[in-house]
Structure 1
Amino acid sequence: MQTPSLAEMQAIIHRGVPLAGAWGVEVISAADGVAVVRLPAQPLLLRPGNTVSGPALMGLADVAMWAALLSVTGGKDESVTSSMTVNFLRPAGSGPVLAEARIVKRGRRMVFGDIMLRAEGSDAIAVHVTTTWAVIAP
């Protein structure tokens, strides 16, 4: 099964989650169940305190996990988020945010993932997410 190019994967994500397209989410890398996506800086996504809002960070984490899944399914995946636990560790700041998603375990019916979010240019983790997805058979 061939992994789609980054441009193809980004197009799949923007079609499947139009909000990701509206936010300008970019797929930076995706292969072997690991993906990095980038949320560009946008004043619309900020909350009081001049930091990226929780809803935007949770959406970015969810899209990053889908990119990780698409990297192992040849770009065809209709799995859905079943649960998400979000731990906000520090503000992500007002600039671009990177999310790195990793498939921890992929079963026939469930997929477990781990996502770390950080401000671009920083090594400090701002948000840690664990997620479970239900596999939808094509």
Structure 2
Amino acid sequence: MPLKMDIPALEAFLKAQFPQVAETFRIEAVAEVGLTLRLLTDERHLRPGGTVSGPAMFALADVGVYLAILASVGPEALAVTTNASIDFLRKPRAGADLLAQVRLLKLGRVLAVGEALITSEGDDAPVARASLTYSRPPQ
């Protein structure tokens, strides 16, 4: 299935619909079955001890899967997360951005399922793995 939205279109959508987080993420690559999303980490993403917080990693996974769905189906602002599970595997590298390799597993009429494997920039060992299900609005 050809992509319905490329990186500039996804970035414009994010800025228009979710300006509160648009500057937090950068789309690195987009493909038919997924994308790579970067969390531009700074002080607001850290928890005591200097590591990236769990909520920040969850946001990276959630936004990543959402954008992967949009890339495949076009702008559906009403698609919502209906289920999410995240495993925190190890502490992220201090001071490093996080990267989510997102893959769509199912893209149906009603539900979309995706996963995100999160790593620290410069390190291939995953720091978290998430699985998310989205409900798509009726056509």
- CA shift digits 1:41-70 (9 cap, x unpaired): 211111111111111111111110011111
Residue 119 (structure 1) aligned with residue 105 (structure 2):
no
Residues of 2 paired with 1:26 and 1:90: CA distance? 23
In structure 1, the residue matched to 2:75 is: 76
The answer as to whether partners of 1:33 and 1:71 remain within 8 angstroms in 2 is: no
Give me the CA root mean square deviation.
1.6
Q: 2:50 maps to which residue?
A: 50
Q: Is the 8 A contact 2:3 2:32 kept in 1?
A: no
Q: How does 1:1-138 map to 2 (within 5 A)?
A: 3-23=4-24, 25-73=25-73, 75-77=74-76, 78-93=78-93, 94-138=95-139
The separation in 2 between residues aligned to 1:52 and 1:15, in whole angstroms, is 26
Letter in 1 for 2:16: R
The structure-2 alpha-carbon separation of the partners of 1:104 and 1:49, relative to structure 1 and needing over 3 Å to count, comes to: same
Equivalent-residue separation in structure 2 for 1:85 and 1:122 (angstroms): 23
The CA distance in 1 between the partners of 2:111 and 2:4, in whole Å, is 21
Shift of 1:35: 0.9
TM-score normalised per structure 1? 0.90
Structure 1 unaligned segments of length 5 or more: list them.
none
- Shifted more, 4-13 versus 125-134: the winner is 4-13
Structure 2 contact 36–64 (Cα < 8 Å) conserved: yes
Number of matched pairs: 136
Report SS of the residue matched to 2:72.
coil
Structure 2's unaligned 5+ residue stretches are none
In structure 1, what residue type is equivalent to 2:53?
S
